[in-house]
Amino acid sequence: MKQKIKKNLRLRNFFFLTIAGIINAIGVTIFIAPVQLYDSGISGTSILLSQVTPESFSLSFFLILLNIPLFLYGLKKQGTSFTVYAIYAVAVYSIFAWLITDVLPIDVSIASPLAGTDLFLCALFGGLISGIGSGLAIRHGGAMDGIEVMAVIFAKKIGTSVGIFVMFYNVILYIICGITIGSWILPLYSIVTYAAALKTVDFLVDGIDSSKAAMIITTCPEDIGTAISNEFTCGITVIEAQGFYSSEDKTVLYVVLNRFQIVKLKEIVKELDPAAYVSITAVADLLHGSQENKTIIKAKQDAEKTEDLVDLEDTHDVEDMKDIVFGTELEEKL
Based on the domain organization, do 312 and 216 belong to the same domain?
A: yes
- The C-alpha atoms of residue 166 and residue 98 are separated, in whole angstroms, by 26
- 141: CB partners within 8 A, 6+ apart: 10, 13, 17, 81, 82, 85
Task: Quote the CA–CA distance of 310 and 319 in Å, as a whole number.
Answer: 15
Among candidate residues 177, 206, 235, the one where a domain is terminated:
206
Task: Verify that 198 and 224 share a domain, yes or no.
Answer: no
CATH code of the domain covering residue 292: 3.30.70.120
Q: Specify the pLDDT at position 332.
A: 46
Asked whether the predicted pLDDT for residue 297 surpasses 60, the reply is: no
Residues 244 and 320 in one domain: yes
Q: What is the pLDDT of residue 18?
A: 96
Do 168 and 145 lie in one domain? The reply is yes
- CA torsion, ordered 185, 191, 192, 194, to nearest 10 deg: 150
Strands, E, within the chain: which ranges? 211-218, 237-242, 249-258, 277-282
Q: What CA–CA distance (Å, rounded) separates 275 from 289?
A: 34
The answer to whether 243 and 250 are in contact (CB under 8 A) is yes
Of the candidates 193, 190, 192, 32, the residue with the CA atom closest to the CA atom of residue 113: 32
Q: What is the pLDDT of residue 207?
A: 67
How high is the pLDDT of residue 10?
86
Q: Which of 99-103, 120-124, 240-244 has the highest mean pLDDT?
A: 120-124
Both 217 and 150 in one domain: the answer is no
Same domain, 114 and 149: yes
Report the mean per-residue pLDDT for the chain. 82
Residues 324 and 276 in one domain: yes
Contact in structure between 15 and 144 (CB atoms under 8 Å): no
pLDDT band at 272 (very low <50, low <70, confident <90, very high): very high
- Give the whole-angstrom CA distance, residue 157 versus residue 234: 41
- Please list the residues that pair with 282 across neighbouring strands: 212
One domain for residues 181 and 218: no
Domain end among 149, 184, 206: 206
pLDDT of residue 208: 59
| Residue pLDDT, tens place only, 189-238 | 999 999 999 889 888 876 655 688 999 999 999 999 999 999 888 889 99
Any residues with CB less than 8 A from the CB of 278 and at least 6 apart, and which? 214, 215, 216, 217, 266, 269
Q: Are residues 171 and 259 in the same domain?
A: no
| Same domain membership, residue 13 and residue 109 | yes
- What's the rounded Cα separation, in Å, for the pair 276 and 311? 34
pTM of this structure: 0.69
Of 92-96, 240-244, 259-263, 270-274, minimum mean pLDDT range? 259-263
Asked whether residue 315 carries a pLDDT value surpassing 50, the answer given is no
Helix (H/G/I), strand (E/B), else coil: 214 = strand
% of the chain with per-residue pLDDT over 90: 46
Residues 217 and 198 in one domain: no
Identify the domain boundary among 178, 206, 234. 206
Q: CA 28, CA 33: separation in Å to the nearest integer?
A: 6
Q: Which domain, by its residues, includes 174?
A: 2-206
102 and 124 belong to one structural domain? yes
Number of compact structural domains in the chain: 2
